[in-house]
Amino acid sequence: MTATQSIQPVLRSDYRPPTYWIENVELEFDLDPRETLVTARIAVRRNSQQPSDTLDLAGENLKLQSVAIDGKRLDGDQYQLRDDGMTLLNLPESCQIETKVLVSPLTNKSLSGLYQTSGNYCTQCEAVGFRRITYFLDRPDVMTTYRVTIRGDKKTCPVMLSNGNRIAAKDLDDGRHEVVWEDPFPKPSYLFALVAGNLKCHRGTFTTRSGRDVALEIWVEPQNIDKCEHALVSLQKSMKWDEDVFGLEYDLDIYMIVAVNDFNMGAMENKGLNVFNSKYVLALPDTATDEDYMLIEAVIAHEYFHNWTGNRVTCRDWFQLTLKEGLTVFRDQQFTADQTSAAVKRIDDVSGLRAGQFVEDSGPMAHPIRPESYISMDNFYTATVYRKGAEIIRMYHTILGAEGFRRGMDLYFQRHDNSAVTCDDFRAAMADANNINFDRFDRWYSQAGTPELTVTESWDAAKSEYALTMTQSYPTLPGGNPGTEDRNPVPLPVRVGLLDAESGEEIEQHSGVVMLDTETETFTFSGLSAKPIASVLRGFSAPVRLRMQRDNEELAFLMANDNDPFNRWDAGQTLATKLLIDAANGLADGRALELSEQFRDAFGRVLSDNSFDEAFKALALTLPRESVLGQEMDVIDPDSLHTARQFYRRRLAECFQSELTSLYNELAADGAYKNDQKSINRRRLKNVVLAYLSVLDVPACISRVSNQFHQADNMTDKQAALSLLANLDVPERDAALAAFYDQYKTDPLVIDKWYAVQALSSRPDTIEHVKQLTSHPDFSVDNPNRVRSLIGAFTQNQVRFHQADGAGYKLLADYVLEIESANPQLAARLVAAFNSYRRFDESRQTQMQDELKRIAEHPGLCKDVHEIVQRALHF
């Protein structure tokens, strides 16, 4: 039997509380790159609900030195060691367990547990990394207080941090020093953090609404100390917003953020000591784009908001992950909407949902937001748990309104502060606080897949009545994934507006939210003088695929008149999708490509409409992504889709070259870089316009792109121009790539951008360039950011990753196999690019399937990759 054959799933239905609870923990770390000694003293008390004198502690990759109970060292007959932990036998009702283990931070390439990055020590414990630090009840329902003593060399580790408040520090006689931290708030082990090394601090303060001063500290490598102010301001804004909107005040005397280069995730909300991927902390206009600035603000906010929705109230078990993540994503989305544009933010969020989560919902990894089983928990940090989870939270907010939602949140914290709870507890708080029955919302937590909402309309002129019949259903999925069978109707709040078909004005008395919580229902609107145009699912009020038959004229009407900004944008996307899919299908039938006059005219109206803000106009002028278009094809044809979309881009640029040029010149005349919202919006539109002009074979257009690259005083404009040049077969391309590398070769985050723009190029020779870049001296499989920027970005390049010879598939499989043993999480995220393979033609299906089989047959394959590959092969 191989290691992978013996892997067994963990089931939600098997949850049992532990046999013992932990009352407090004392940890001591004697730091050493190869042999860090970790001493753990844990006071345990028998769980009266689970009477047993046996205790199972999780542990992985630990060298046990000793075990003692109440000071008495145990021999081998009193405990049992396994590869994944230790079992202690014949324990008294309460006792103190002391273990001493050695771990090797230097050789830990999984970036889980305690590891070294750039010479500094760092931990990552969510979901199950703490068991790589010491033997422990490494599960989220075991919450306890921690006292942590860290000893390290004063030269290499002048800074030593952990959770809570620093209560003592002293120098030792052997050239080391010692720091003691104490966290007064109970927390599960996944929220433990330790950071030590040569770091510099960017400091600030925040005064809470009750008048307490909180010290804010952002710790970075010395060369990055000038890139922290935006992160600090973002943190202060987040703290103020959470007080204003939810009445939630920070609870410790200090809040720390540490930026590290080698990190598997975006960031981690460890209590009082957040560890961040440096990508989401460091920013200067010369090295970070407007999108980077926005993401930094959003991720800083997300991790801060976890202090209450995740830390003070946490998950009973990992199946409840969306309890903290879906809720906190919703909170950070609301925060960003308040800081920027609610309409643009909503469009961006739904675009991401459709591009990522909808694909996940229709493939082998389809799962409910509260999964029923897993083999590797790390595989369920998914778009479904996060993004779809946030949409379910948003529906509570839509139904209850802001005040009702706040009442529910207040009751949730009142009931469950300092507790580990379930999704059902959150749902009950929302229901009880508002005297409403949310029982059917449980279906959203237990059913997988994206519901389809089919809407038909009817008009009765004699009765002056207009009716919308709404029907919900789930598409059938093969593979028998949990949550995809015997699915029932879910509650759908559908926001509807009716528009006068002549004037485009809204008929306000008929606008609002209707609730569909059965399979089919008809909603009738009376007292109308003429048949209206319906605007359905405004603001994307429920996470569904809307199916409503509309002709092109009606879509163009909504694109021009709907005063719901999301639906106005979505009408344009729907029209473009219809036309581009038809064009792509026509190529296979030998039809010539033609630009739709309706779409051309609608595009021209948007281009000339000065009532839009620039960010919204940029979105409205952008054609749907090829990956999103592919979802609407029975069999995805990446080549035809790419050809059709490129044709539309070129024809639109030709038709509106004068207007686009004039608009670009106007926007480019803004002068020196500014970071205010108006300037950000104008840059966004300017670069969309430049992208259209770049597809014209006119020397002036190529020169314009090249000039923007060389003259840009900010990374937003420079990267936008470089991305466009990377698609072109012109001398300016190679010159720009060389100049960019020479200018930024000492900045890892900027060089990640250099890799990504080449991986995303639409040029036919892209895969050869990607292969060459894997041999570049700056490429390393040990750094997740670098791998994601090249290999991960390439898998998002639909036309080149899926080129017909299968070279892209082999490249991905090679790197999955190279990475999987050292960093299973990263490898699993990469291999997921194969999950949609059954959506392609037979030849591509066979080639991807062959690579999946090659991975599956790899000896000793890690369980993270094993789970995803097996689900794909059996889908």
CATH 1.10.390.10 location in the chain: 314-446
On the question of pLDDT at 5 being above 50, the answer is: no
pLDDT of residue 45: 97
On the question of pLDDT at 108 being above 60, the answer is: yes
CB-based contact 707:720 (threshold 8 Å): no
Residue type, 471: T
CA separation for the pair 65, 75 (Å, rounded): 12
For residue range 303-347, what is the model confidence (pLDDT) as tens digits? 999 999 999 999 999 999 999 999 999 999 999 999 999 999 999
On the question of pLDDT at 818 being above 50, the answer is: yes
CA separation for the pair 449, 470 (Å, rounded): 19
The rounded Cα 120 to chain-centroid distance in angstroms is 26
For residue range 770-779, what is the model confidence (pLDDT) as tens digits? 999 999 999 9
Dihedral class, residue 500 (left if φ above 0, else alpha if ψ from -120 to 50, else beta): beta
Q: Quick check: helix, strand or coil at residue 848?
A: helix
Known catalytic membership, residue 217: no
Residue 24 binned pLDDT confidence (cut-offs 50, 70, 90): very high
Query: Rounded mean pLDDT of 590-601?
Result: 94
Nearest to 604 by CA among 533, 653, 553, 665: 653
Residue-averaged pLDDT of the chain:
96
CATH 1.25.50.10 location in the chain: 626-633+640-687+694-873
Query: Rounded mean pLDDT of 127-139?
Result: 98
CA separation for the pair 316, 41 (Å, rounded): 24
**Residue keyed to tokens 């003429």:** 530
For residue range 35-79, what is the model confidence (pLDDT) as tens digits? 999 999 999 999 998 889 999 999 999 999 999 999 999 988 889
Which residues have CB under 8 Å from 734's CB, separation 6+?
none
Count of CB atoms situated within 10 Å of the CB of 700 = 10
- pLDDT above 90: percentage of residues in the chain: 95
Count of CB atoms situated within 10 Å of the CB of 850 = 14
For residue range 196-241, what is the model confidence (pLDDT) as tens digits? 999 999 999 999 999 999 999 999 999 999 999 999 999 999 999 9
Q: What is the CATH number of domain 314-446?
A: 1.10.390.10
Q: What is the dihedral of CA 157, 159, 164, 166, to 10 degrees?
A: 100
Angle at 419 between CA 425 and CA 406, to 5 degrees: 50
CA separation for the pair 152, 383 (Å, rounded): 39
Q: Kindly calculate the radius of gyration of the chain based on its CA atoms and give it in whole angstroms.
A: 28
Query: Rounded mean pLDDT of 864-869?
Result: 97
Query: Rounded mean pLDDT of 76-90?
Result: 93
Query: Rounded mean pLDDT of 548-562?
Result: 93
**Residue keyed to tokens 């994206």:** 450
For residue range 379-395, what is the model confidence (pLDDT) as tens digits? 999 999 999 999 999 99
Q: Which residue has the higher pLDDT, 4 or 409?
A: 409
Which residues have CB under 8 Å from 313's CB, separation 6+?
324, 412, 413, 416, 417, 418, 419, 421
- Helix (H) / strand (E) containing 102: strand 94-103
Residue 4 binned pLDDT confidence (cut-offs 50, 70, 90): very low
pLDDT of residue 480: 67
Q: What is the largest CA-CA distance in the chain?
A: 96
CA separation for the pair 860, 844 (Å, rounded): 27
The rounded Cα 607 to chain-centroid distance in angstroms is 32
On the question of pLDDT at 173 being above 70, the answer is: yes
For residue range 454-504, what is the model confidence (pLDDT) as tens digits? 999 999 999 999 999 999 999 987 766 777 888 999 999 999 999 999 999
For residue range 420-456, what is the model confidence (pLDDT) as tens digits? 999 999 999 999 999 999 999 999 999 999 999 999 9
Question: Rounded to the nearest 5°, which phi and psi values hold at 167?
Answer: -110, -15
- Helix (H) / strand (E) containing 358: helix 358-361
Domain 10-198 in this protein, CATH class: mainly beta
Query: In this structure, are strands 20-30 and 144-153 parallel, antiparallel, or unpaired?
Result: parallel
CATH 2.60.40.1730 location in the chain: 10-198
Q: What is the dihedral of CA 544, 550, 553, 558, to 10 degrees?
A: -30
Angle at 595 between CA 592 and CA 601, to 5 degrees: 165
Classify domain 626-633+640-687+694-873 by CATH architecture.
Answer: Alpha Horseshoe (1.25)
Nearest to 104 by CA among 58, 43, 37, 164: 37
CB-based contact 614:682 (threshold 8 Å): yes
Q: Which of 303, 360, 614, 626 is catalytic?
A: 303
- pLDDT above 70: percentage of residues in the chain: 99
pLDDT of residue 588: 82
Which residues have CB under 8 Å from 706's CB, separation 6+?
721, 725, 732, 735, 736
CA separation for the pair 152, 163 (Å, rounded): 17
Dihedral class, residue 613 (left if φ above 0, else alpha if ψ from -120 to 50, else beta): beta
